Structure 1
Amino acid sequence: MSVLDPLSHALAALVASFHSTLTALGADPATGLTWTLSVVAVVMTVRLALLPLVVHGVRSAHAAARARPQLADLSHRYRNRADLESIRRLREERRAIAAEHGQSRLGCLPMLLQVPVWIALYHLLSQVAAGTSVGAMTPALVASLGAATFLGVPLADRGYVGLGPAHLAVTAGLALLAAGLAFVTQRYVVAPNTVTDGLPQAVATAQHLVPLASAVSLLVAGSVVPLALLVYWACSGAWTLAQSAVITRWFPTPGTPAAARAALRAG
């Protein structure tokens, strides 16, 4: 039994519930469209539920950016001081600065709480596509999803090579869409809203490689994961792009290029 099983069962209940709801509204329970919409509905529901953590993350980033100049000056003043009294005063002044700017003691922990949810959803879709029942996703529902198709390609099929050119076009198209969304989000939306001043050169270089690495990893993963997961990744990527664009335009982090552009628009 995995520690993620409770999350996987909760997400399985969501998938089954949305499938039942769409069926009750007149949708064909066996079609790929119904199952695709069920997966999309689960992604949107989870993302809406996680919005409070996103808001907390934005506020934490703003607080950290406002505090950064003072913390840098503090580190400069206390550099080369290793006596216990100096260490004590340094900690006290850091706490005072954090309190002044409203920095949370939890740091990025609330944002990290999202990770188990996405891992659980990944494993759920992988298991169901492999024919394994999970919680409310009974053997009958699993068999139904396994037989359903998206643009003619079974949702349970894996990889780029399968039923011919149409199979390749659908799977590669979804993988390229997910990869493109990830690249655009990281390169043109997230990066301009990220503070890089004062970062070590190695860290700054690594940040420049994140967009490409994200896109390549999705393209590689697309060769082994079921089509249902590619649908999930594309839907989630579209949400992430829209959410990040809203944050960058209307709630930019102080000290970033995005904040400078916002100031120009306001002025």
Structure 2
Amino acid sequence: MDVFETIMVPFKWLVSAIMVGLHDVLSSAGMPAASGWTWTLSIIGLVLIIRAALIPVFLRQVSAQRRMRLLQPELKKLQAKYQGKTDQLSRQAMAQEQMALYKEHGTNPLSACLPMLIQVPFFLALFQVLSGIPAAAGQGQGIGAMSRDQALQFDASSIFGAPMPASVLHGGGDQGAVVLLTVLMILAMTVSQFITQRRIMVRNVPDESPDTPFARQQKVILYILPLVFAAGGVYFPIGVLIYWTTTNLWTMAQQFTIK
């Protein structure tokens, strides 16, 4: 087992344990244990639990973004000070002064990405668990906190005719249903992410300071992430796309509700 796999083990157990626990609760409430909708609601519940736990981090992110906005005039003055100076010493001095400003104001351009970075290991863990279910089920084994029977149930479940473990590139079940559902969820992810990022830019990037490092970072996120969703979505199982779509919708709603 390599270092990455060792690091991911506790995340895989935590993610699968939460999902299985929610599945058991829903099954006890009368939903069919082998239904794709029961597993879908379990994945949505997993998102809600993780994102609710990250609310304090999001609030710190909002505060950091506000400090970045207040810092824009000083960053613009710094850019004017070093405008036209392309030598190594000037670039180094400008970078040092920028870092000093960030430290003084208790923020940095990467603060906007913190909640996303924290979610990465959970997303990767879910991807590993759901992608590994067909092999585990085929070998009569469980995966993570998921038992053998639960792995078999998930492997056989579907929504709208698309098997939960299936993806566009790796096939499985009704491929037409898989492609259609994947495209719809990629569109939902892309639109919600674009709306969210536009709102962040409007609220935190002043019109008079469009060329600061923070503004450039926000523009990169605005236009690059939809491409990531489109390129990555065809690789991901339906279950992972449900997770990703739900978390994007949560983020969009959160931006509109928390001031």
TM class, shorter-chain normalised? 0.7 to 0.9
1:194 aligned to 2:204? Answer: yes
Residues 19 and 131 of structure 1: is their aligned pair in 2 closer, same or farther, counting only changes over 3 Å?
same
Give the corresponding residue for 2:63.
59
Aligned AA (1:44): L
Cα shift at 1:175:
2.4
TM-superposed deviation, 1:8: 1.5
- Offset from partner CA, 1:114-143 (integer Å, 9 cap, x none): 433333333333333554743211222111
TM-score by length of 2: 0.74
**Contact 1:129 / 1:155 at 8 angstroms: preserved in 2?**
no
Does the CA contact (< 8 Å) of 2:13 and 2:145 recur in 1? yes
1:124 aligns with 2:129: yes
Distance of aligned partners of 1:166 and 1:72 in 2 relative to their CA distance in 1, 3 Å threshold: closer
For the residues of structure 2 that align with 1:207 and 1:22, how far apart are their CA atoms? Answer: 40
In structure 1, the gaps of 5 or more residues are: 81-86, 251-267
RMSD across aligned positions (CA): 3.6
Tell whether the 8 Å contact from 1:131 to 1:146 is kept in structure 2 after alignment: no
Q: Deviations over 1:38-94 (max 9, x none)?
A: 0000011100001111111111121232244346557878999xxxxxx9xx98xx4
Aligned residue pair count? 235
- Aligned CA distance change for structure 1 residues 37 and 138 (closer, same or farther; 3 Å): same
What do the CA deviations read for 1:211-230 (whole angstroms, capped 9, x no partner)? 34322322222322211111
Distance 2:78 2:193 in 1: 37
1:182 to 167, 182, 193: 193
Q: Is the 8 A contact 2:34 2:157 kept in 1?
A: yes
Match of residue 115 from structure 1:
120
Counterpart among 229, 232, 252 of residue 240 in structure 2: 229
Contact 1:129/1:226 (<8 A) preserved: no
Query: Is the CA contact (8 Å cut-off) linking 1:129 and 1:228 kept in structure 2?
Result: no
Identify the residue that residue 217 of structure 1 maps to in structure 2. 228
Within the candidate set 27, 31, 41, 1:27 is matched to 31
> TM-score scaled by structure 1?
0.72
**1:13–1:136 contact (8 Å) kept in structure 2:** yes
Q: Which residue of 1 aligns with 2:251?
A: 240
Matches of 1:67 and 1:168, distance apart in 2: 45
Segments of structure 2 that go 5 or more residues without pairing to the other structure are: 86-92
Per the alignment, residue 169 of structure 1 pairs with 180
User: Does the 8 Å CA contact 1:30/1:148 hold for their aligned counterparts?
Assistant: yes
Q: How far apart are the structure 2 equivalents of 1:71 and 1:173?
A: 41
CA distance in 2, matches of 1:159, 1:235: 19
- Deviation digits for residues 194-252 of structure 1 (CA, Å, limit 9, x no counterpart): 32626369x73x754543432232222232221111111211111111112234xx3xx
**Counterpart position of 2:46:** 42
2:88 paired residue number: none
